[in-house]
Amino acid sequence: MLACASFAFRGHALEEPRLFLGLLITFHILALAFWVGAFVPLLRAARFIDPALAREIVHDFGEKALWVVGGLVIVGLLTLGILTHWRVSALLSPYGQFFVLKLVVFVVVLGLAGLNKLQFTPALWRGEPIRAGRMSK
């Protein structure tokens, strides 16, 4: 939590409204930590524990992740709006271009999450064994 909150004391979190931007960025980093930090435990659960329990764990993560992703979208839009003063033309600035790049990465990650939701999770529910490279098929 401290490491995530530390991002509120640097970069664009130092602009006004400083407290609000700090909270937005802290949420952003916490959400990212939740998302990325869950990959290895979810994979281990899918491979090594009782399939019924693994299904429940993956299902619970999917429900929580849906809220986290929704929060990330809201936080990202608010942060972008505040930092660009709600001007679309600001997307042509270096910050705007970097934001668009981050948005492309976010969309790719959402695409992978969609594949996971449509292929990997249903396979767990059907009781199919989990193999390396499953998500790439």
Domain assignment of residue 137, yes or no:
no
Q: Is the pLDDT of residue 87 over 90?
A: yes
pLDDT category, 13, cuts 50, 70, 90?
confident
Q: State the SS3 of 85-134.
A: CCCHHHHHCHHHHHHHHHHHHHHHHHHHHHHHHHHHHHHHHHCCCCCCCH
**Structural domain harbouring 23:** 2-132
pLDDT, one tens digit per residue, over 25-34 is 899 899 988 8
Residue with tokens 């290895």: 40
Q: Is the pLDDT of residue 137 over 50?
A: no
**Integer Cα distance of 51 and 57 in angstroms:** 10
pLDDT, one tens digit per residue, over 34-66 is 888 998 898 888 788 888 888 888 888 888 888
Q: How many residues does the chain have?
A: 137
Q: What is the average per-residue pLDDT within 107-129?
A: 79
Domain assignment of residue 18, yes or no:
yes
pLDDT category, 6, cuts 50, 70, 90?
confident
**Integer Cα distance of 4 and 17 in angstroms:** 19
DSSP, collapsed to helix, strand or coil, labels residue 1 as coil
Domains of the chain: total: 1
pTM given for the model: 0.74
Q: Which residue has the higher pLDDT, 137 or 108?
A: 108
